[in-house]
Structure 1
Amino acid sequence: MTGSTTASTPRLRVGIVGCGNISRNHLEAFTSLGNVDVIGVCDVDITRAQATATSWNLTHAVDSVDALLALGLDIVSVCTPHPTHEEVVLAAAAAGVNVLCEKPIAVDVASAERMANACAAAGVKLGVLFQRRFWPAARALREAIDDGTLGAPVMGQVSVLLHREPEYYSADAWRGTWANDGGGVLMTQAIHYIDLLQWYMGPVSEVYGAINTFKHAAHIEVEDSASAVLKFTSGAIATLIASTAANPALGVQIRITGTTGATAELSEFPEGSDGRITIMAAGDTVTSTPAHPAGALANVGLANINAALIPHHREQIAEFVHAVTHSHDPAVTGEDATNALRILLAIYKSARTGEPVRFAPFPTNVPTAPDAVVARLDSITPVA
């Protein structure tokens, strides 16, 4: 197992930056590992840092990143609001400390690239939390691509239909703002599934998207709903819809069809539960289970979602510790996280400009239409 330890495995000293909701998952994961000592926590609110340290029986609670790094760390875990990630990561890299950062890696690509470059120059690992890659079912879908069951992906569909009440945004002042959250459903929720989509389908060549706010306009300034068409450098195409305005929530479905004609669907319902393969269709066989099991609670609170994800945080964090102790790249790198960020920011840009955003050429096999059909297509004009 990747995260296993032996008697010869060195002990690592870990610090946590940010003592908000998600820090619990990191603390649970790190303290479960036999070769890790969590030395202390840091928060701009020293009272919150001290309360966290007391709850977890930790020695140190500080209110600055420099003070935490001065404790002599091997790994720092970044659990702060999105736009603050860069400052923490750059400080850690300068101190020669490996970094595990919550998603999204940043709120702009230039910032993400600076973070990745700084860690590479310092010779430290940079990992980013996309714990849903560690679902057994998510790996099984990846294996179905790699072993030829699906073949190379040619079509993808992602549906992210989630539920949030106004209190979700009002509980933390930074949520739902462009400056401090960086975006809405795409930045905070759908980025997990954008990461899975690019993991399955490869590099994106072009994005065309739209965003709107249907339910939460009175209390957020970002989008609560989005849709996009994505083209990939392989020639594959995919669609994405995402919303926090659904009631009840329908969770997440990711469907991949490959060159063999086979299709697999990965479902997460309710939100935070383990992903499951709900459709596997290959040859003459269709195997399916309900994507929405009867009796499941559809609308799940944030605390319950985070708690349900602890096992997968634990597995990714164990893998990151293994990467540090055995000098290999983590499963989810800064480059991976930057690619996911680039895709979602392209949706925002396309929504603003009304134009597709292109990163690379898209190889097409568009059937050649006769002149009469071309004439009909060329006759289409926008409505004034």
Structure 2
Amino acid sequence: MNKVRIGIIGLGFIGCRHAVSLANNAIPGAELTAVYDRNQDKEQWVKENLGENVKLFTDEEQFFNSNMIDGVIIATPHPFHTEIAIQAFKHDLHVLVEKPAGVYTKEVRLMNEAAVASGKVFSMMFNQRLNPLFIKLRELISSGELGEITRTTWIITNWFRAQSYYDSAGWRATWAGEGGGVLINQDPHQLDLWQWVIGMMPKRVRAFCKFGKYHNIEVEDDVTAYVEYENGATGLFVTSTGEAPGTNRLEINGDLGKIVVEDGKITLWRLSVPASEFSKTFKGNSFDQPEIRKIDIPVEGDTDAHNWDGIITNWVDAIANGTELIASGEEGIKSLMLSNSMLLSTWTDNWVNLPIDEDLFHEHLQKQINNSKTQINV
């Protein structure tokens, strides 16, 4: 089969990075043939970095109608993902979208419906699913190493941002410009991994988002969310852009022990017998607990690698050979479901059941957008 011809939409930092990788033949079975960006000043950069055979388009319709591409990587700001993706599917193109998939779940559902109607391959750039640290963690949990999950706790507060970061662009940290704050800007990978490694989504969420707690911004910069799962397990997700030094610690407890992921390492505490069994049957000292063995779990591979090329290669293989996607377009809904539910819980001051009421969320979001200081409507 001929190489899959790829076009890139959006030549910001990440779009340029993907373009150079493709132009340097880093993705087997793919070739970069076209790029699209509204900024006409990109012409010289394209010639110098991508070569004479890659055509730059500054007109969207000309790009889509060029007959030069089989699939597109959408690397624009996330508020524009839905419109562009649906347009691409209407032109019978395969699509890979950067994270987050969109601002709210209904958008991503529309993208998936368009993908199904077109019969094209729709993938998400959840490149952290290729991080050997989280691959190993998922394997440990799915193998039953912890038994039944009882609690999940992720404290991810090492996103510190000074006010100057938010002041660097008028759309930053505004409801109309981004549709949210730390949850949609910094945390999409962690929210995806949170449900992916344990293999289940919560059944309901109660969250407390603080808007502009540490910064002069409209959106959330501090979040504490409590979740409950169908099996009775509970979870906690804490995140912020206002704490220094921050923490990145994921702890997963089960009936057979616990796993902690911190500082690029996995530590397992394994019980000799299930905690529930020991509690019911042990007749000795009332303060005793099951025998515990601490195990440092080896992880092979670079846990700091971004693995973007791995996701692009998987998408190209799915187009050419029908390979199963690492992160399908449908997977883009789950992390957004979590962030949307946390915001909706705060706005309604109540529990939110999953799947969320998408229309109710959009109604509340639109109220925030209408009052936003910028009107780049998401």
Task: Report the alpha carbon displacement of residue 312 of structure 1 after superposing the two structures with TM.
Answer: 1.1
Residues in 2 aligned to 1:228 and 1:62: alpha-carbon distance in whole angstroms? 44
* 1:165 aligned onto 2:159: no
Moved more, 171-180 or 140-149: 171-180
**Aligned match of 1:32:** 26
2:209 aligned partner, one-letter code: I
Where in structure 2 are the equivalents of 1:345-384 lying within 5 Å? 345-359=340-354
Residues in 2 aligned to 1:151 and 1:62: alpha-carbon distance in whole angstroms? 54
* 1:205 aligned onto 2:208: no
**Aligned match of 2:89:** 93
* 1:222 aligned onto 2:210: no
Residues in 2 aligned to 1:95 and 1:311: alpha-carbon distance in whole angstroms? 30
Maintained 8 Å contact 1:19/1:49: no
Candidates 132, 137, 161, aligned match of 2:133: 137
In the TM superposition, what whole-angstrom CA distance separates every residue of 1:166-212 from its partner, at most 9, and x where no partner exists? 33333343221111211110001112111111112312210110111
Task: Report the alpha carbon displacement of residue 78 of structure 1 after superposing the two structures with TM.
Answer: 0.7
Moved more, 323-332 or 181-190: 323-332
RMSD, aligned α-carbons: 2.2
2:268 aligned partner, one-letter code: M
Consecutive unaligned residues of structure 1, counting only runs of 5 or more, are 1-8, 270-275, 290-307, 362-384
Residues in 2 aligned to 1:352 and 1:53: alpha-carbon distance in whole angstroms? 49
**Aligned match of 1:342:** 337
**Aligned match of 2:258:** 263
Candidates 41, 45, 50, aligned match of 2:35: 41
Task: Report the alpha carbon displacement of residue 311 of structure 1 after superposing the two structures with TM.
Answer: 4.1
Maintained 8 Å contact 2:252/2:259: yes
Task: Report the alpha carbon displacement of residue 39 of structure 1 after superposing the two structures with TM.
Answer: 1.0
Residues in 2 aligned to 1:25 and 1:233: alpha-carbon distance in whole angstroms? 41
Maintained 8 Å contact 1:28/1:314: no
Residues 241/314 of structure 1: CA separation in 2 closer, same or farther (3 Å cut) = same
Residues 27/216 of structure 1: CA separation in 2 closer, same or farther (3 Å cut) = farther
Residues in 1 aligned to 2:28 and 2:183: alpha-carbon distance in whole angstroms? 36
**Aligned match of 2:72:** 76
* 1:333 aligned onto 2:333: no
Residues in 1 aligned to 2:193 and 2:228: alpha-carbon distance in whole angstroms? 15
Maintained 8 Å contact 2:109/2:333: yes
* 1:321 aligned onto 2:313: no
Residues in 1 aligned to 2:31 and 2:110: alpha-carbon distance in whole angstroms? 29
Task: Report the alpha carbon displacement of residue 215 of structure 1 after superposing the two structures with TM.
Answer: 5.7
Maintained 8 Å contact 2:27/2:312: no
Residues 69/309 of structure 1: CA separation in 2 closer, same or farther (3 Å cut) = farther
Residues in 2 aligned to 1:309 and 1:119: alpha-carbon distance in whole angstroms? 32
Residues 248/214 of structure 1: CA separation in 2 closer, same or farther (3 Å cut) = farther
Task: Report the alpha carbon displacement of residue 309 of structure 1 after superposing the two structures with TM.
Answer: 6.8
**Aligned match of 1:112:** 108
Residues in 2 aligned to 1:64 and 1:282: alpha-carbon distance in whole angstroms? 59
Maintained 8 Å contact 1:40/1:53: no
* 1:21 aligned onto 2:13: yes
Task: Report the alpha carbon displacement of residue 130 of structure 1 after superposing the two structures with TM.
Answer: 1.4
* 1:286 aligned onto 2:281: no
Task: Report the alpha carbon displacement of residue 49 of structure 1 after superposing the two structures with TM.
Answer: 5.7
Task: Report the alpha carbon displacement of residue 77 of structure 1 after superposing the two structures with TM.
Answer: 0.4
**Aligned match of 1:369:** none
1:102 aligned partner, one-letter code: E
In the TM superposition, what whole-angstrom CA distance separates every residue of 1:25-83 from its partner, at most 9, and x where no partner exists? 32244341232111121112121365245322252111233222223312200111111
In the TM superposition, what whole-angstrom CA distance separates every residue of 1:306-360 from its partner, at most 9, and x where no partner exists? xx97641111211221222121441111211111101110100111111010126
Residues in 1 aligned to 2:314 and 2:244: alpha-carbon distance in whole angstroms? 36
1:37 aligned partner, one-letter code: E
Residues 11/221 of structure 1: CA separation in 2 closer, same or farther (3 Å cut) = same
**Aligned match of 2:192:** 195
Residues 215/228 of structure 1: CA separation in 2 closer, same or farther (3 Å cut) = closer
SS in 1 for 2:45: helix
Residues in 1 aligned to 2:36 and 2:163: alpha-carbon distance in whole angstroms? 29
SS in 1 for 2:99: coil
Q: Could you tell me the TM-score, scaled by structure 2's length?
A: 0.80
Task: Report the alpha carbon displacement of residue 113 of structure 1 after superposing the two structures with TM.
Answer: 0.5
2:203 aligned partner, one-letter code: S
2:17 aligned partner, one-letter code: N
Equivalenced residue count is 325
Task: Report the alpha carbon displacement of residue 164 of structure 1 after superposing the two structures with TM.
Answer: 1.4
2:331 aligned partner, one-letter code: D
Residues in 2 aligned to 1:169 and 1:41: alpha-carbon distance in whole angstroms? 29
Where in structure 2 are the equivalents of 1:172-191 lying within 5 Å? 172-191=169-188
In the TM superposition, what whole-angstrom CA distance separates every residue of 1:138-178 from its partner, at most 9, and x where no partner exists? 00011001222123422101111121123333334322111
Q: Could you tell me the TM-score, scaled by structure 1's length?
A: 0.79
Moved more, 144-153 or 132-141: 144-153
